[in-house]
Structure 1
Amino acid sequence: MRKTARLSALAATGLLALSSLTACANDAAGTSHSSGNDKAGGKGENVKIMVGGLDKVIYLPAMLTDRLGYFKDEGLNVQLLSEPAGVQAETALVSGQVQGAVGFYDHTLDLQVKGKSVESVVQFSRAPGEVEIVSNKASKAISSPKDFKGKKLGITGLGSSTDFLTKYLAVKNGVQPSEFSPVAVGAGPTFVSALQKGSIDGGMTTDPTVATILDKKLGKVLIDMRTPEGSQKALGGPYPSSSLYMQTDWVNSHKPTVQKLANAFVKTLKWMSTHSADEIAAKMPADYSQGDKKLYAEAIKATLPMFTTDGVMPQNGPETVESVLKAFNPNIKNAKVDLSKTFTTEFVDKAAKAAG
């Protein structure tokens, strides 16, 4: 196997990392984030997974699985890479630069109508985990999505799930996507800065960004979709979001490896369901708390209700996602989507049985 360049500086140099990945597309060899050996003592299987923001709480199971040692237990060397938006993780996956992506399930529907066969193999969540925030300055002018007209609204990236959900909330409340301006501002410090400077009037983001904004009193919550109840109220049903999704052809040709990934992630989801936010926060990299461990734990606590305990797709979840996308996306609205091909429970079902 060829050796690939180390990608340790990926978080700081996303563009450089992406070009490095292109040079080794479909090559599973390389330096992995968790480099454990298999039980026989040989080198473990190498898998690259691109995450739409490793430090986002909605994607917490990815890094937590590594920190708990569950990838290593399965004989896997999983290299976790990071991009600021889920749509970029999607791009890395379909171009063959990585074998898996941790991002929103809704990308599987969007890709299907574009002729790409991608499926969720482990469903991390049953709600978006997203929050629509408005700046203090704009809070009087924006009391509901009906007021989005003429406003500048932050999203992580064009074509991202935050873009999808913002457009849906607008259309549902009588505002067309062409009547407001989506602004790609990422998450974390870049989102906070845009809100402070007035570059955006509000926007959709996740924890720990939400916790930071509220702690600094820079804005207010307009719509909270971090819980199943919040998802039901805003979107009309459960909205499966963060997941491990992969190209169907790769899944079918690498079932033993996919099963090991499912085993590891299901163990993590179960572990999360029996531990407190403080205990979860303590397992994560120290820099994720940005110097405020208490605030970080609070961010995790606020988002925990969105996660599944078994990795199984929530009942009626795919239908809710399809309904949301059809409301504003003309490509999906006029297309027939085969929801059965957008996810599988084959691997999580086996993982559950193996775990007893």
Structure 2
Amino acid sequence: MKRAVLVFLAVLLAFGLAQKRVVLGVGGKTAVVYLPLTVVERLGYFKEEGLDVVIQDLQAGSRALQALIGGSVEVVMGFYDHTIQMQAQGRDIVAFVQVGRYPAIVLGVRSDLADQIRSVADLKGRRVGVTAPGSSTHFFLNYLLVKNGLKPTDVAVVGVSVGAQAVAAVQNRQVEAISNVEPAITLLEERGLIKVLADTRSTRGTREVLGGEYPAAVLYTTRAWLDRNPDTAQRLVNAMVRGLRWMQGKTPEEIAAVLPEEYFLGDRALYLKVLRNSLESFSPTGRFSDTAPLRPLTVLSAFDPNVQRARIDLKRTYTNAFVDRVPKQ
């Protein structure tokens, strides 16, 4: 009996060593900007890398960041600009694989107010929905306000989350405008509820609004965690890059086939249109370019006094070391 128990414990230990547990927070799992995370999870790539990834859906990027700082998650799937914001506050946060090369954030106004709100400058005094205050959708709004001669305080910001909650906030007239991501944007457009003022879902739109490629969704963590867990980080990156490669050239129908039914919000055909509008925004390689991180720095410097005052070392906000070690196909 004693020998059997020892064998059983050895098996458990071996399984524990084979399956490395990682707690990962995401700022809205059903948001299309984070879609590769679900693709990788559903295709089993994390498990094939020997990882037990526990995903906590925190509904907004700012909440995911808070969870990392508070220690309740180890890694975040969120937007790259938070790494710059944190460095300005003296925190060493590092992005280690790029998922989105464009933000895919859209600013739209309610269609019934389109004759009154014809430009960003007309938003003064209005209520604008964002996923959550302090999230990248909020940063995007702030930048556009400053760029158009307003201050961030010239509007009232309302947290509306993502997906169905964001759509409901517009339908119920809780906000006059919205800065949000897919699938909410296409749902609102198809129902004739919003008119788009700024759109970064495509190469052309991102170039018009932000000047070019703009690191968006990434995996980031503290430098201390990265230094302690290089093997785990490499496995995470291996899985994510494999997922990004899998998505290249796939049709919306092929991608939708691996997703949970609840992602479609009751309208699969409309969700396929959402995917068509979004596929261009994902990185094909997971790699950061040397110049693109300058754009988030420019955006944040436009309205964040901490970033304006800080001497930001962009090279410390991201690394390609893990992506460069991913096995070739």
Q: TM-score, normalised by structure 1?
A: 0.86
Question: How far apart, CA to CA, are the structure 1 residues paired with 2:314 and 2:153?
Answer: 28
Instruction: Measure, in 2, the Cα distance between the counterparts of 1:154 and 1:40.
Output: 46
- Structure 1: state its 5+ residue gaps: 1-36
Measure how far apart 1:176 and its partner are.
1.2
Say whether 1:146 aligns with 2:114.
no
**Count of residue pairs the alignment pairs up:** 318
Answer yes or no: is 1:345 the counterpart of 2:320: yes
| Aligned residue number for residue 328 of structure 2 | 355
Q: Report the counterpart of residue 5 of structure 2 in structure 1.
A: none
CA distance in 1, matches of 2:293, 2:308: 15
> In the TM superposition, what is the alpha-carbon distance from 1:321 to its structure 2 partner?
0.5
Shift of residue 296, structure 1, vs aligned partner: 1.0
Structure number with greater CO (CA < 8 Å, separation at least 6) is 2
Mapped to 1, the partners of 2:161 and 2:48 lie a distance apart of 34
Between Structure 1 and Structure 2, the one with more helix by share is 2
Alignment partners' CA distance in 2, 1:38 and 1:131: 48
- Structure-2 residue corresponding to 1:29: none
Distance in 1 between the 2:221 and 2:40 partners? 18
Q: 2:298 — aligned with what?
A: 323
Is 1:86 the equivalent of 2:61?
yes
Distance (whole Å) between structure 1 residues aligned to residue 13 and residue 247 of structure 2:
25
Aligned runs of 1:22-171 on 2, under 5 Å?
A: 43-171=18-146
Q: Deviations 1:85-128 (Å, cap 9, x if unpaired)?
A: 10000011111111100010000011111111111111001111
1:307 aligns with 2:282: yes
Q: How far apart in 1 are the matches of 2:152 and 2:103? A: 20
1:43 to partner: Cα distance: 4.2
**CA separation of 1:259 and 1:194: change in aligned 2, threshold 3 A:** same
Q: Which residue of 2 aligns with 1:243?
A: 218
Structure 1 residue 155, shift from structure 2 partner: 0.7
Distance 2:16 2:100 in 1: 34
Contact kept, 8 Å, 2:30 with 2:163, in 1: the verdict is no
Q: Contact 1:108–1:119 (CA<8 Å) still a contact in 2?
A: yes
Superimposed CA distance per residue, residues 255-295 of structure 1 (whole angstroms, 9 cap, x where no aligned partner) = 01100000000000011113111111110111111121111
Alpha-carbon distance in 2 for matches of 1:348, 1:196: 42
Which sits farther off after the overlay, 188-197 or 125-134? 188-197
Q: Which region of structure 1 is more displaced relative to structure 2, 233-242 or 188-197?
A: 188-197
SS at match of 2:215: coil
Partners of 1:122 and 1:244 within 8 A in 2: yes
Tell me the secondary structure at the aligned position of residue 328 of structure 1: coil
Query: Counterpart amino acid of 2:30?
Result: D
Instruction: Check whether the contact 1:48–1:81 (CA below 8 A) recurs between aligned residues.
Output: yes
Matched, 1:176 2:141: no
Structure number, greater radius of gyration: 2
Q: Please report how far the alpha carbon of residue 184 of structure 1 lies from its aligned counterpart in structure 2 after TM superposition.
A: 1.4
Q: Which residue of 2 aligns with 1:264?
A: 239
**Corresponding residue for 1:225?**
200
**Structure-2-length-normalised TM-score:** 0.93
Which residue is 1:10 aligned to?
none
The one-letter code of the counterpart of 2:142 is K
Which residue identity is paired with 2:309? N
Contact 2:160 2:169 in 1 (8 A): yes
SS of 1:317's partner is: coil
**Closer/same/farther in 2, CA of residues 39 and 355 from structure 1, 3 Å limit:** farther
Which aligned runs of 4 or more in structure 1 are off by greater than 2 angstroms?
37-43
Within 1, Cα distance between the matches of 2:203 and 2:219?
20
For residues 61 and 72 of structure 1, what CA distance do their matches in structure 2 show? 15
Once residues 142 and 45 of structure 2 are traced to their aligned partners in structure 1, the CA distance between those partners, rounded to angstroms, is 38
Cα offset for 1:198? 1.9
Instruction: Give how far 1:314 is off.
Output: 3.0
- Provide the identity percentage: 37
